Structure 1
Amino acid sequence: MEWDHWCNGISLKDIMQSFKFEDSFVNCYTNGYGWTLPPSTPNLLVAEIMGLNIFEHPMVLWLGSPTPTFSTFYTSYFSVVQEVSWQKFIWHKKKSLRFSSYAWMAMLGKLKTADQLILRGIDAYSPCSFCGDGSESHSHLFFTCDFTFSVISSLLPPLRSFLLRPNMMQTFVYFDESLDYNSWEKTFCYYTICSSIYFLWRERNSRRFEMIWRSPSKITSVIRLAILAKVKYWKHFDDLKRRFVLHC
């Protein structure tokens, strides 16, 4: 009643923040003849509500649709957000929300890496927690660092063909543009990269805050187990096992 934008495109709370209706639904204040507002309703709200002819518009439409679905709302909610070309690497149909969320933040530079904290005036230990040589940043962690590159290249050996260490975008684009992989093999590669970002970020935090260190081979095994838990239900799992290393 108060928060939905049904009153000329705005909510009643936008008009008068202090007043609260006893019932939550608009149909509690209508009958077969029109509006039935309680006597305590402020005049400002009465004027706004009574100006709506509910018989002229017998239903509420969502963007012109008399039968809106969640998809209608979802599309409308994100309509103002600029679409990026690399969203398919992260939000594909086989995604894991946990892995994709962290990969998305990493692509946007939103993880709390040392360089980002320092930019915000927060003291942070800048050397990389993995190799100790480079300064910690999104680009270094994923995957120009020798340590993290050894993990991702163990999971996806074709990356070893790079003369220089690739960053995240280069890693995704390499498989996207490759003619050696079909669509579901590319999806597997995207999924593997996203899961690697998640587990490497967790390992980074464990090293910094819990003083728990794991070797590249151990981290690789953990990532493979997580991938297997999901991929074993995929339609082309047997083909993926033949193409990629899917055992620990």
Structure 2
Amino acid sequence: MVYNQLIGEQQKLNWVPGVWNRVFIKHRFILWLDIQGRLQTREKLHKIGVSQEDVCCICGLQTETHDHLMFNCIYSQILLAKVLIWLGFNYRLRTLPQWLMWIQRSYKGLRTRKQVLLIVITAVGYQIWRTRNQALWDQVVYDVDKIFKAVQFIVKYRL
């Protein structure tokens, strides 16, 4: 699992300011749970006997793990690609810890732009988790464009 491979780097990464920032209001808790690997994915629920299935609620193709749900699911990949194109970045698949490390260590842009990127990552993670919950509980998966517009609204509203 990518999360376990990065644990050494995660311990060195000071992700606390990126997650627990005054700009993030309700989405930061989901981001924190995701970084810790504590979201109750179907894989986890299946292992403890709460769910009969462990398949992703959104795509229905693979086991619903943190890695799959946030960055390997085709739905998440399309959403993230749209968001990064909107921001003017070349699309490159990364996990959440990799994005946070890149933003905090390697990104050379303005501080404000860095803040916007953190807001975007938080909004995307929250919207993916929200979409997953709607798919699980309401059996509804909204079009990626609708979720993309929701991410845009969140980012514009938070700024």
Pairwise TM-score range, normalised by the shorter structure? 0.7 to 0.9
- Give the greater-gyration-radius structure (CA): 1
* Selected match of 2:20 from 75, 91, 103: 91
Given the alignment, which residue of 160, 167, 171 partners 2:99? 171
Q: Does 1:182 align with 2:78?
A: no
1:191-223 C-alpha deviation (Å, 9 max, x unpaired): 111111111111111111112221111110011
Q: How many aligned positions are there?
A: 146
What does residue 24 of structure 1 align with?
none
CA contact (8 A) 2:28 2:122 kept: yes
**Partner letter of residue 138 of structure 2?**
E
Superposed CA offset, 1:4-31 (max 9, x none): xxxxxxxxxxxxxxxxxxxxxxxxxxxx
Residues 105-120 of structure 1 mapped to structure 2, 5 A cutoff = 105-120=33-48
Q: TM-score, normalised by structure 1?
A: 0.54
Deviation at residue 93 of structure 1 after TM alignment: 3.5
1:84: how far off?
A: 6.2
Structure of greater relative contact order (alpha carbons < 8 Å, 6+ residues apart): 2
Query: What is the TM-score when the length of structure 2 is the normalising length?
Result: 0.81
TM-fit CA distance, 1:229 = 1.4
Letter in 2 for 1:218: K
Work out the CA distance in 2 between the residues paired with 1:210 and 1:118.
19
Cα distance per residue 1:54-107 (max 9 Å; x no partner): xxxxxxxxxxxxxxxxxxxxxxxxxxxx996211221123222x1101110111
Report the counterpart of residue 215 of structure 1 in structure 2.
143
Match of 1:138 among 58, 62, 66: 66
Indicate the SS of the match to 1:94.
coil
Q: How does 1:4-153 map to 2 (within 5 A)?
A: 85-96=14-25, 98-153=26-81
Identical pairs, percent: 21
1-side partners of 2:119 and 2:149: how far apart? 16
Which consecutive residues of structure 2, in runs of 5 or more, have no partner in the other structure? 1-10
